[in-house]
Amino acid sequence: MMAEPNIGLLLYLPYRELETRIFDAVRAAGYDDMTLAQSRVFQRIAVDGSRLTDLAERARVTKQTAGFLVDQLVKAGYVTRVVDPADARARLIRVSERGSAAARFAAEVLAEVEAEWTAHLGERTMTQLRHALVKLREITDADDRPVSGSAPRR
């Protein structure tokens, strides 16, 4: 008899499936010049823009890695660098029009997947799952600012 998977794996498996479905659909829709690593940084850009150091911290990568990935996102037209109005010496990374269009498409795919999962689990269980995960986020996500490269947080 196999042991029941631990909670980490049970959380990870659906996330991996969700991420893969969204990423594959976004690439099939013509946004095929973004890598998965780039998308993971992209989806953590704050609505009003992010400094590179903040973005690296949110994405849990080094500043050098974040800088490399952001450079690629700039070249592909998904983000721009602008002067930070709070400090002219600093730059903010902001989502571009192309990046916003890709994010909107990703949000549509996310809604489709959530609808499938709701149909499978039932409305009540899906609501309970969401509530439990939001509650768990209170102790697992130190930075819960809204981000522009992902679906709106509920």
Output the domain CATH number for residue 57. 1.10.10.10
Q: What is the pLDDT of residue 2?
A: 75
The reply to whether 32 falls in a domain is yes
Number of folded domains that form the chain: 1
The reply to whether 154 falls in a domain is no
Residue 112 belongs to domain spanning: 7-140
Q: Model pTM?
A: 0.83
The reply to whether 98 falls in a domain is yes
The reply to whether 47 falls in a domain is yes
| CA angle, 66 then 58 then 74, to 5° | 35
The reply to whether 149 falls in a domain is no
**C-alpha 94, offset from chain centre:** 14
The reply to whether 129 falls in a domain is yes
Which residues in the chain land under pLDDT 70?
1, 143-154
